[in-house]
Structure 1
Amino acid sequence: MDSLPLSTEHYIGNELSLFEKAVNWKVYYGSKLKPYLKNRVLEVGAGIGGTTLSLCDGSQKEWLCVEPDASLASDISKLLETKKLPDCCHLHVGTLADLPPQAPFDTIMYIDVVEHIEDDRSELALAYEHLAPKGVLIVLVPAYQWLYSPFDKAIGHYRRYTRSMLLKAMPPQSKILHAWYLDSFGLLASSANKVLLKQSNPTPKQIKFWDSMLVPVSKVTDKIVQHRFGKSVLVIAQKPG
């Protein structure tokens, strides 16, 4: 585990602890990812470790958390020190550009991270270089620019995505395995909030209601609508062997 530097990039958002308890949502999208979370996994923008806790089950050969903000990374460091994360987990405080390309990963994932990166195409192209042959690149982002709110701006989102936008940002050499919208029922609720309530910041009660009541419904409705719309976009792409 890397030691924490005196100064790194500082993340301006404050939503990580708010969404940390969205257990049903993490389990739902995690069910789509788990078949690909094998061998050497790189999690870019690991934040405070909420996704790592949810998805890293110790069966992986290595799970490297990359986080540029030293303050956020200190939370992951504490999880490692207290053995709340498996022994395969490690922490690098910095960015993807710091890592040597000589040790490719089988899976690289960005969970609600790419929308924070101004040059998303260059970032994903760099990630592609760190993939082993037949490795997969996983990207989950918030959907639809018309839902962009003051909350998005406050936490450093440059944009929200349609499926076609995200596909265009993916490395052109990659093979698209899945390109899905997730959380169709959550999209309806967000749309109503945008039009009727016009509330920019979700409250803990709203997050709990969404996670406990709406996400389970979305697990059903997403299948019915065949992932044609939803509050998030998920793309899984593979590097040719």
Structure 2
Amino acid sequence: MPTEKSHLEPHDDPQRDGDAAPDSTSAFTAATGRDLEADHGKPRYLAYQRELIRPHCGRTVLEVGAGLGEFASGFTGFDRYVVTDVDSGAVRKLKERFRDRPEVEVQQYDIDGGTKLDRPVETLIAINVLEHIEDDISALRRLSESLTPKGNIVLFVPGYQQLYGEFDRKVGHFRRYTPTTVAATAREAGLVVETARPVNFLGAFAWWAAVRKGGTTSPNPRLVSLYDRFVVPVTRAIEKYLPVPFGQSVLCVARKPG
């Protein structure tokens, strides 16, 4: 099943760990624990996420909690794409990765610290971010300050509390969402919900077996790769034509009032 990337608190700077090498991505991710939810090794799943999110995007985009930029690396065609993370080590890596894409701006962005863009964007993307924030309603209010009027917030969050296990606790998830609960959170934050629905139907079964029953606390790269290769295409085909009753994740799109 796909993993879900983690997000560090501002004080979790990799340079504070004696084993972290600033010029080594593998050492950076190992030292900070980001490998637990890293996006590498699942190109088909990332492509599916981009396919789901792109229709809700305008010409200018802010991605918060981008980690090492796996999602943004294949998300192109925008006039302005602001890629951010709370962690300074990740920001350094992002600047290296996107130095040849002139439309990309890299910034350090702290949701809890009240960061907002000087020039608002039409779309804000938060993939596996909201579940790491205890006061998610206040976080969405702060995020909306970086949006233009009628701009969209696109949320991709872990789905269904029944799937919550040791892995979730280890990476700092306060909760998992249903379409109803994430929509209610968005409305409480003053947003207008356009859609909220489960995605990755087959992934929910794999997650339940591995995390809830199997007690997995870290992803198996080989299993993640096999899942990405063989199961994601089937999931993608099913969900293209049929609504699904639940899933490993929930997609929510909410609009800032005009």
**TM bracket, shorter-chain basis:** 0.7 to 0.9
Letter matched to residue 96 of structure 2: K
Equivalence for 1:238: 255
Structure-2 residue corresponding to 1:42: 62
Residue 124 (1) aligns with residue 129 (2): no
2:165/2:215 contact within 8 Å kept: no
Q: Within 5 A, what are the aligned runs for 1:42-191? A: 42-55=62-75, 57=76, 59-81=77-99, 83=100, 86-96=101-111, 97-100=114-117, 103-172=119-188, 173-191=190-208
* Shift of residue 37, structure 1, vs aligned partner: 2.8
TM-score (norm 1): 0.86
Deviation of 1:28 after TM superposition, in Å, equals: 0.7
Counterpart AA for 2:105: H
Provide closer, same or farther for how the CA distance between residues 78 and 146 of structure 1 changes in structure 2, counting only shifts above 3 A: same
Moved more, 190-199 or 179-188: 190-199
TM-score by length of 2: 0.81
Amino acid at match of 1:48: L
Of residues 177, 182, 200 in structure 1, which corresponds to 2:217?
Answer: 200
Report the aligned-residue RMSD: 2.2
Residues 179 and 233, structure 1, Cα contact 8 Å, conserved in 2: yes
Paired with 2:36 and 2:82, the residues of 1 have a C-alpha distance of: 19
Q: Per the alignment, do residues 16 and 74 of structure 1 end up closer, same or farther by CA in structure 2, a change over 3 Å counting? A: farther
Q: Distance in 2 between matches of 1:163 and 1:52?
A: 25
Q: Hey, what does 2:45 align to over in structure 1?
A: 25
Q: Which runs of 5+ in 1 are unaligned?
A: 1-6
What is the percent sequence identity of the aligned residues?
A: 28
Q: 1:129 to 1:62 in 2, by over 3 A?
A: same
CA offsets per residue over residues 55-86 of structure 1, 9 Å max, x none? 2x1x32211112111112221111123x2xx2
Give ranges in structure 2 of 5+ residues lacking alignment.
Answer: 1-8, 14-31
Number of aligned residue pairs: 229
Deviations 1:137-170 (A, max 9, x none): 0000111122122221221211111111111111
